[in-house]
Structure 1
Amino acid sequence: MSLIVIMELLLTLGLAYVIYHQRQQLLDVEKRLNILSQSMDQHQLEQAAVVNADLVFAKKLAEINSQLVSMDNQLQSLETKRDNDGGYQHALKILEMGGNKDEIISSCHLSNAEAELLMNLHAYRAVIKTPA
């Protein structure tokens, strides 16, 4: 009978050790789970900050793009105005010096219709200046 009691005692001690060991493993897993949970929470906060920063960046980029388009339009407008203002006067001077339509088209970057209009204007001015 004492052998059975000793065996039961050894079996109980063995089971207690296994239960204790598994309890320690469970505690370790819980610690790792808590650490991972905290890490996930931190990553979610960081992701929200990155998404917010991305939205702000996209808005600023759209504003800059809009400003660039506006500046490009203004620059093209100024170039067109400059070309038209100086080009006509230069073309009239070329005509006064005896130039022809092809010459003012190529030199002043005018269309055929603009060149013909300036030639007609030059001819009209010449007629007005000529004494009758």
Structure 2
Amino acid sequence: MDVSALSLLAIATGLLAVVAVIWLYFHFTKRLTHLIQTHLESESRADILSDDVKNLENQIAEMQTRSMVQGKHMRELADQCDQFENQLREVKLQDPSMRLYTRAAELVKSGASVEEVMQACDLPRAEAELLMSMHSQRS
């Protein structure tokens, strides 16, 4: 081979190398631009998700606060209910006629006859029969 063929081959190889470098430059520039755009979109989505998480955390905190307040109200209502039950028991114990009717109702529930209820609680027949009929309707 002569020198001109070698120099032509060297020039062609050099041009091919320059074209390859230019192609690689544009190819990697295009890939880099795509990666940057994807990264920016991901950051935008991450910001949106972060805001959503903060909103959900606030909602959860608010719900927990409401739940605590409702629990407190429920405890207060339960305490009031207990107080009312205690007051009702005291009233029943203080009223002699209520004690008789309570005892009569217990006798009727246990299966006592009308005469037994009349004698044990000193009730007239009509009241004893009324208690019997009321108990039989509930059963």
Match of 1:10 in 2: 9
Task: For CA contacts below 8 A with separation 6 or more, give which structure has more relative contact order.
Answer: 1
Deviation at 1:92, TM superposition (A): 5.1
Any idea what SS the aligned residue of 1:56 has? helix
CA distance in 1, matches of 2:52, 2:8: 65
CA distance in 1, matches of 2:93, 2:27: 94
Greater CA deviation, 21-30 or 63-72? 21-30
Match of 2:83 in 1: 84
Match of 2:135 in 1: none
Deviation at 1:45, TM superposition (A): 0.5
Equivalences, count: 97
CA distance in 1, matches of 2:42, 2:28: 21
CA distance in 2, matches of 1:30, 1:91: 91
Cα deviation digits, residues 74-108 of structure 1 (max 9, x gap): 011001001111223214535765xxxxxxxxxxx
User: Aligned AA for 2:78?
Assistant: E
Match of 1:122 in 2: none
Match of 2:29 in 1: 30
Give the root-mean-square deviation of aligned CA atoms: 2.0
Match of 1:52 in 2: 51
Match of 2:68 in 1: 69
CA distance in 1, matches of 2:13, 2:63: 74
Mind listing any 5+ residue stretches in structure 1 that lack a counterpart? 98-132
Q: Percent identity?
A: 12
Match of 1:42 in 2: 41
CA distance in 2, matches of 1:15, 1:68: 77
* TM norm structure 1: 0.66
CA distance in 1, matches of 2:89, 2:35: 78
Mind listing any 5+ residue stretches in structure 2 that lack a counterpart? 100-139
Deviation at 1:10, TM superposition (A): 1.2
